Amino acid sequence: MSASDPNPATGLDARLAALPRDLPPRVAELAKKLTAGVSGPYNKARIVERYLQTRLKYTLDLKRDTRYEPLEDFLFVQKAGHCAYFASAMAILLRVVGVPTRSVNGFLAQEWNGYGHYLAVRQGDAHSWVEVWIDGVGWTTFDPTPVGPPASAPNAVWTLLRQMTDTLELAWFKYVIEYDLGKQTDLVNGVREFGAGVFRAASLKERAKKIAPPLGVITAIFAAAWLLRRRRGGGVGPIRLQHVESAYGRALRALEKRGLSRGAGETGRELAARAHASSDPGAAPFSALVELYYTARFGGQSVPSAELDRLAAAVVRPPEK
pLDDT tens digit string along 151-176? 555 666 676 777 777 776 666 666 55
Fold classification of 14-142 (topology level): C8orf32 fold (3.10.620)
pLDDT of residue 112: 75
CA atoms within 13 A on the CB side of 254: 22
Confidence label for 107 from pLDDT (cuts 50, 70 and 90): confident
Among 278, 257, 275, CA closest to 266: 275
Enumerate residues 6+ apart whose C-beta is below 8 A from 76.
Answer: 26, 68
> How far is residue 219's CA from residue 42's CA, in Å, rounded to a whole number?
54
Regarding predicted confidence, which is higher, 319 or 33?
33
pLDDT of residue 47: 97
> How far is residue 318's CA from residue 321's CA, in Å, rounded to a whole number?
9
Cα dist from 8 to 12, 13, 93, 137, 154, whole Å:
8, 9, 22, 18, 52
pLDDT of residue 234: 45
The phi and psi torsions of 28 (rounded to 5 degrees) equal: -65, -40
Contact 19, 136 (CB under 8 A): no
Q: Measured in whole angstroms, how far is the alpha carbon of residue 29 from the centre of its chain?
A: 38
Average pLDDT over residues 181-206: 56
Among 145, 142, 138, CA closest to 130: 142
**What residue spans in the chain does CATH classification 3.10.620.30 cover?**
14-142
pLDDT of residue 89: 96
Buried b (16+ CB within 10 A) or exposed e, 95-118: bbbebbbbbeeeeeeeeebebbee
Q: Is residue 304 scored above 70 in pLDDT?
A: yes
pLDDT tens digit string along 216-247? 455 555 555 555 454 444 444 444 677 888 89
> How far is residue 71's CA from residue 271's CA, in Å, rounded to a whole number?
40
Max CA pair span of the chain: 83
pLDDT tens digit string along 307-316? 999 999 999 9
pLDDT tens digit string along 244-272? 888 999 999 999 999 998 887 788 899 99
pLDDT tens digit string along 277-302? 999 999 999 999 999 988 887 777 88
Quote the strand ranges of the chain, DSSP E: 57-58, 80-81, 101-107, 111-113, 118-120, 126-134, 138-142
pLDDT tens digit string along 195-216? 555 455 555 555 455 554 555 4
β-strand pairing of 111-113 with 57-58: unpaired
Q: What rounded mean pLDDT belongs to the chain?
A: 78
pLDDT of residue 187: 56
The phi and psi torsions of 268 (rounded to 5 degrees) equal: -60, -40
Contact 296, 236 (CB under 8 A): yes
> How far is residue 65's CA from residue 48's CA, in Å, rounded to a whole number?
24
Q: 98: helix, coil or strand?
A: coil
Q: Is 242 exposed, middle or buried (0-12, 13-18, 19+ CB in 10 A)?
A: middle
Measured at the alpha carbon of residue 148, what is the angle toward residues 25 and 38, in degrees to the nearest 5?
40
Enumerate residues 6+ apart whose C-beta is below 8 A from 201.
Answer: 207, 209, 210
pLDDT of residue 6: 54
pLDDT of residue 1: 42
> How far is residue 185's CA from residue 190's CA, in Å, rounded to a whole number?
8
